[in-house]
Amino acid sequence: MFHGHDDYVTVGENIGQTDCAILPCGLNWIMTAQPVVLGHWPATEIMGERFTSVGAWRGPYGSVEYHDKSYGLRAHEFRKFMELPRLSGQPFEVALDIHAAEVNDLALLHQNDWTLIDPKTVAADPWVYRSFLQQSRAEFMVAKNMYVQSNSGWFSDRSICYLASGKPVLAQDTGLQKIYPVGKGLLTFSTLEQAVLGVAEIVNNYPRHVRAARVGRGILRFG
């Protein structure tokens, strides 16, 4: 279904690399970071109290089966980090699109001190969405399992807006470490233990990570 176009652009910046499970399908992909218009996302001096994010628990698409391996959804990754708020001692608030029928997962989220809010409220329009991001302390970003397991190099359009606003991002690693400088402003994790350490690093050295976030560490390439 990809054939017949003039150019092919992807934010999966590892596609075609030997350590990425996603094949280029014979196409010459143009790799790009997520774009952001910095004038619409000014840095803010507001220091919120919570680590936040916006996303879907499952989304409209199911898992993908390829070569006897299943590539899943955000739910499959998020469950690995359920204990993070309790272990880190920091408040987490997620605008999560999760169905009421997910009773077991909802119970685990509440038991581990996640605050859940309706994404329709915080993403009602571009200005409300921007305000929610900019009143956060930082973002905690969990990727879909298919992005993580394939080592795709995917980075979120939401996370780039946090960085532009001067908000640090603690992002699950999808192969980002080989693409961008990480450790200041943008921090990555693969395990629960690394996530706990990343939260502590942001909290204990917040001004340094705020400065590095807006500078972009080589990510904010677009004006």
What is residue 217's predicted lDDT score, i.e. its pLDDT? 46
Burial label for 185, CB within 10 Å (0-12, 13-18, 19+), is buried
Q: What is the mean pLDDT of residues 130-153?
A: 96
Give 3-state DSSP helix, strand, coil % of the chain, rounded to 5.
35, 20, 45
Long-range contacts of 100-107 (CB under 8 A, 24+ apart): 102/57, 102/75, 105/57, 105/75, 105/79
Which percentage of the chain shows pLDDT scores above 90? Answer: 82
User: How far is it, in rounded angstroms, from Cα 130 to Cα 42?
Assistant: 10
Superfamily of domain 34-215: Glycogen Phosphorylase B; (3.40.50.2000)
Q: Would you say residue 4 has pLDDT above 80?
A: yes
pTM recorded for the entire structure: 0.93
180-208 pLDDT, tens per residue? 989 999 999 999 999 999 999 999 999 99
Q: Give the largest CA-CA distance in the chain.
A: 52
Q: Would you say residue 169 has pLDDT above 60?
A: yes
Res. 40 pLDDT band, cuts 50 70 90? very high
Burial 81-101 (b: 16+ CB within 10 A, else e): bbebbebbebebbbbbbbeee
Q: Where are the domains of the chain?
A: 34-215
